[in-house]
Amino acid sequence: MKKIFSSIICFVLIVNVWAQNNELSTALQLKAESKYPESLAIFQQLLKSDSGNVVYLANTSILYCKMGLRQVSDAQKQTYYHKGAYLALKAIKANSNNADAHYAYAFALGRINEFASSKQKIANAKTIKTECDKTLSIDANYAGAYHIMGRWHRTIAGFSSVERFMINSFFGGVPPGGTYEDAIKSFSKAITLEPKYILHQYELAMTYYERDAQNDMAQVKSWCERALKCPINNVDDEGTKKKTMELLAKVK
């Protein structure tokens, strides 16, 4: 009788594992297809079954940040981004050698910075750089981390004199980098890894536009035109396409 009971338990466990693996595959496929609401719903259920699973935590965090961008109010957006940061920290705690976990935290902080004070932005900037460096030390071909670093370098390069004073006075300066040239290199690497992702190309064009050095407007025009040839996979890409067209109109 004990053997029969043990066999039943083993069978149930195997079925549960198979079901979770099947759901995970579905969730990851939906995420890859930019079907974020559907993917998030599955990952939320998976987390209920295993709240300490680093794969579930990291992916749920990333999806909260992606869905946060689609929220109507700033308050709603911040709720999603802070939830993403919370889950990312749990993911790092679960496995500090998981590239997705560190990327998720950098991604969440980058989104949170959109609403932060100058002092908080500067404080977060150091952490974002650290998390991206950790991501790339684990996976040197992580396109998303290069994208975030591109935004990081461009943000630092565009800091006002007051913000730079705050960096030096209260935070002992920033890590090496923080130039438009570094931003261009980072976005270019992201494009090499994901050549059909419109956002990488738009952000590279925007970097040239903000730098506004000799021949930069020609680069803006070129990268905007390339971006507009990228496939449009979701509403976020539609938004990026609109911004690309607006940027292109400024330099034509």
CATH number, position 80: 1.25.40.10
Per-residue pLDDT tens for 163-184? 777 777 766 776 677 899 999 9
Q: Is residue 93 part of a domain?
A: yes
Residue 38 counted as domain residue: yes
Identify the CA nearest to 153 among candidates 189, 198, 186.
186
d(CA 42, CA 29): 11
Is 91:81 a contact under the CB 8 Å cutoff? no
> Would residue 22 count as lying in a domain?
yes
DSSP 225: H
pLDDT at 9 over 80: no
What digits encode the pLDDT tens for the residues 70-102?
A: 999 999 999 999 999 999 999 999 999 999 999
Helix (H) or strand (E) holding 77: helix 74-94
With cut-offs at 50, 70 and 90, classify the pLDDT of residue 117. confident
> For 53, left (φ over 0), alpha (ψ -120 to 50), or beta?
beta
Give domain status of residue 24, yes or no.
yes
Which pLDDT belongs to residue 13? 40
More confident residue, 14 or 20: 20
Q: Is the pLDDT of residue 146 over 80?
A: yes
| 63 in Cβ contact with 46 (< 8 Å) | no
What is the per-residue burial (b if ≥16 Cβ within 10 Å, else e) of 131-148? bbebbbebeeebbbbbbb
| 55 part of a folded domain | yes
Quick check: is 37 in a domain? yes
Report how many domains make up the chain.
1
* Residue 175: predicted pLDDT: 64
Which range of residues forms the domain containing residue 48? 1-115
